[in-house]
Chains A and B, each alone.
Chain A
Amino acid sequence: MSARLDLTRYKSLAGLLRNPWPQFLIRILALAGFLFTILAGLLGTPVGSHNFAIIFVWIAWWSALKLIFIPFGGRFWCSFCPIPMPGEWLQRGGLLVRGNRTVGLGLPWPRRLTGAWLQASGFLLVGLFAAVTLTTPRVTAWMLLGFLVLALTMDLIFAPRTFCRRLCPIGGFTGLYAQVSPLEVRVKDPQVCATHSPKTCFLACPWGLYPLTLKSNADCGLCLECLRACPSDNIAINLRQWGADLHPGGRRLLAEAFLGLIMLASALVDAAVFLGPWGWLKVAAYSVGSRSWWAFSGGFLLLALVILPAMFILAVWLSARLAHPQLDLRQTLAHRSQVLVPLGLMAWIAFTISFALTKAGTIPSVLSDPLGWGWNLFGMAGQAGTGQVTLLSLTVQAVVLAVGLAWSCRVARRISASLREALPLAVFAFFFNSTMLWLLAA
């Protein structure tokens, strides 16, 4: 096991993490901001670049998620995401403490619907409408409201955080890439847990996880309820190496490969639509319901569900053939899908560098006039500078993609028995990254 630094060793930091108030205050802020965003989308200007809903959701938050939250904190965003909050508070019967009157049936989620299949499909579905959603404040507002209502409804029927774990498309994205994050919740001494009863941490965890068995960051929302509940101070918040969850051991699900491939396809399509020079493609992606949009959707689905999976299956099949001809392809696919994680994350970061850079200049202006009604709260309205995709940003993107390639090759080598076995996976990664670089440079 590689080196870890337990942050709870620092008393003041541990105190801060254990105290529910800072997290609660951020949650209030996030929920209030979320409601304001919905209102801004519904009432404010229909011009996306001047509406708080578009700029704050798709430029500020979506970029921060990919550039900061996930690479440094994994599912840290999930710990104060406003969408599941109303349901969670109702289920708990209190905001800070567990109340006597709790709401919700608490039914278990159907077993056959487990895995990341639904989340990946949801992400794909949202992607088909991305050109409209990312530019039309009203659509963004209705989508956010829809998520809020869906999460609340699911919380009333199913166990806590079922929406986050089973349906939230962003949850799928975040969970997948959280595996590389350098922040993890684990137990300090397994022996303490083994002898402790009742399992207070398990009972406290809204995600239904038992910290002792935590092997991956994929499902842990970093809410730190276990840290607060543990009477033995046996929960560690570790800083660790990037990518520590990607290793040869452990059983993995086929859905992870599906999720990883959907994310790769989405990164390619988003780069082509939003950053590419092809006007007809933007029009097709935007004209939801038109013939050209159906063609675009067909192409998108073909790439995500047929072309990329076929290429990856071929790479894995070659890799497996080289090692053990008798290997179960299903299991091998799931296992080798780990190479898709750093590859996808770095591709998304590279995409975001251009996407955020060209639009970040609108943030101060939209803060001053969030609804596009001619306000000037901070004297910065109308100062929207549009950024340029420069040689510098392109160089940074190329470096990010190169890191992604090197990293996924390293993972490929780490989870393969031999270099020969890792080679087809590396070729796949190289092919994907070259396409991504070409799209970004186009």
Chain B
Amino acid sequence: MLRKENLARLLLASGLLIALVLPFAGRWLQNSLSPHTIELHARIPEDGGWKPEALQATVDQPLRLRLISDDVAHGFALGQMDRLPVDLLPGEVKEITITFDHPGTYTFYCTRWCGPNHWRMRGVIEVNGPIQRPVSGQSVPLWVRLGLDLDAPHPAAVAPESKPAAKRGMALLAELETDGKIYDQDYYRSHAPAQVWQELRAIPSLKDRSDAQLWDVVAAIWQHNTDARSLAEGQKLYAANCAACHGQQGAGDGVFASKPPPDKKASQGMPTGADNPLKAPADFTDSASMLGASPALLQGKILRGGMGTGMPMWGTIFTQEQTWDLVAYLFSFQFEFNLPEAAR
């Protein structure tokens, strides 16, 4: 009888030991099988965002990440890198490997609108290495070179009565006898549409043209500096990253625009409700401010963010080219473009 009891105790102890050790042994085995894999957990920013937020890597050495969403659907993407975002569904585990060519600070971010503070969900990867070349897109941006004040108001001195159409302006643009500077990309980027209109208005040979005709020419110049691919890319970026605040139609009325953070936790320490000092997102359909903004100014706002609006900085995420595509698309809220497969 005693032997039976002892056997029972041995079995019980073994069973309990197996149950208690199983998770830890499994964890240990998992780590031994795939060493150097970093587990990166995604949670909505109200619950801490990425964990860890800062990672280290070395040039030419693969960085293995095990990505896990602990709550809702998130996405993982690396700024300024030509990689497709990885969708992270709750509880599912995705493993990816990234190899960096250049040292620098890379930003990774969430690509799904996971919550009111979605755009704060970012982290960085410090990549160390011997080759000290800057990451692409880190050259001095145009707005800095031009010395623009991103926070100053930029009202347009003049505005059209109806939406200018590039199609109507193209014929007149071809007839224009100018010194050719209006075809120059730097001219386009550094001038606001209202400025260009005023310069056109001052040309004596155009004094017979109506104000509306000259606005069509401005639209044509803007169209001349973009193409269908850029507009499509701009539209895609806008829909994925901007529309939630600025609205699908650019009117600054996106789903997250008017809502103050729902509670103290979501506000992450920022003032809520009436005390919220944040300005509303920019309205791209408002010609009074849009036509007073040069492409360089808009690009600067995108790159840096801020302006007292809660706008995130995109400089570490978008490439230079992507920001210009986006700027070109923003002007489609003001101008009628007609390009094959044009975005609007």
Contacts and interface: CB of A to CB of B under 8 A. Distances in A.
Interface of A: 24-25, 28-29, 31-33, 35-36, 39-40, 43-47, 49-51, 94-97, 99, 369, 371-375, 382
A28 B12 contact: yes
Contacts of A99: 5
Interface in B20-54: 20, 22-23, 26-27, 30
Contact of B95 (A40, A50, A374): A374
7 contacts: A32-B16, A36-B19, A36-B23, A46-B70, A47-B91, A97-B4, A97-B5
B340 interface: no
Given A28-B11, A47-B90, A382-B92, A39 B23 contact: yes
Contacts of B27: 373
Contacts of B8: 24, 95-96
Contact of B91 (A49, A95, A96): A49
B18 interface: yes
B257 interface: no
Given A36-B22, A43-B23, A97-B5, A373 B70 contact: no
B93 A374 contact: yes
Contacts of B71: 46-47
B261 to A, nearest CB: 16
Given A28-B12, A39-B23, A374-B95, 8 more contacts: A29-B15, A33-B19, A39-B19, A50-B90, A95-B8, A95-B9, A372-B68, A373-B30
B263 to A, nearest CB: 10
B12 A95 contact: yes
A251 B213 CA distance: 98
B5 A372 contact: no
B66 interface: yes
Contact of B11 (A25, A36, A46): A25
A99 B5 CA distance: 10
Given A39-B23, A95-B5, A96-B8, A374 B68 contact: yes
Contacts of A49: 90-91
Contacts of B230: none
B334 interface: no
Contacts of A47: 69-71, 90-91
B1 interface: yes
B71 to A, nearest CB: 7
Contact of B30 (A33, A45, A46, A375): A375
Contacts of A33: 19
A39 B17 CA distance: 12
A22 B86 CA distance: 49
Given A39-B20, A39-B23, A43-B23, A374 B30 contact: yes
Contacts of A43: 23
For the residues of A in contact with B, the DSSP-based class is: loop
Contacts of A45: 68, 70, 91
A29 B18 CA distance: 10
Contact of B20 (A29, A35, A375): A35
Contacts of B68: 45, 372, 374
A283 to B, nearest CB: 12
Interface residues of B, number: 27
Interface in B159-194: none
A245 B11 CA distance: 38
Contacts of A371: 23, 26
Contacts of B18: 32
A28 B10 CA distance: 11
A375 B26 contact: yes
A29 B5 CA distance: 17
Nearest to B29: A375
Given A45-B68, A45-B70, A96 B4 contact: yes
A35 B16 contact: yes
Contacts of B15: 28-29, 31-32
Nearest to A37: B19
A371 B16 CA distance: 18
Contacts of A382: 92
A45 B23 CA distance: 12
B1 A372 contact: no
A33 B16 CA distance: 8
A11 B20 CA distance: 39
Scoring B8, B23, B91 by chain A CB atoms within 10 A of each residue's CB, the highest score goes to B91
Nearest to B94: A374
Nearest to A93: B5
Contacts of B90: 47, 49-50
A94 B69 CA distance: 46
Contacts of A25: 11
B5 A94 contact: yes
A24 B11 CA distance: 10
Given A28-B11, A43-B23, A371-B23, A50 B91 contact: yes
Nearest to B9: A95
A51 B93 CA distance: 13
A51 B23 CA distance: 12
B5 to A, nearest CB: 5
B91 A32 contact: no
Nearest to B66: A374
B92 A50 contact: yes
Contacts of A375: 26, 30
B69 A96 contact: no
Q: Which 8 A-B pairs give the minimum distances between C-beta atoms?
A: A50-B91, A47-B91, A374-B93, A32-B19, A32-B15, A95-B8, A28-B15, A36-B19
A50 B92 CA distance: 8
A45 B5 CA distance: 38
A25 B20 CA distance: 17
Nearest to B95: A374
Contact of B19 (A35, A44, A95): A35
Nearest to B92: A382
A49 to B, nearest CB: 6
Contacts of B26: 371, 373, 375
Contacts of B4: 96-97
Scoring A31, A46, A97 by chain B CB atoms within 10 A of each residue's CB, the highest score goes to A46
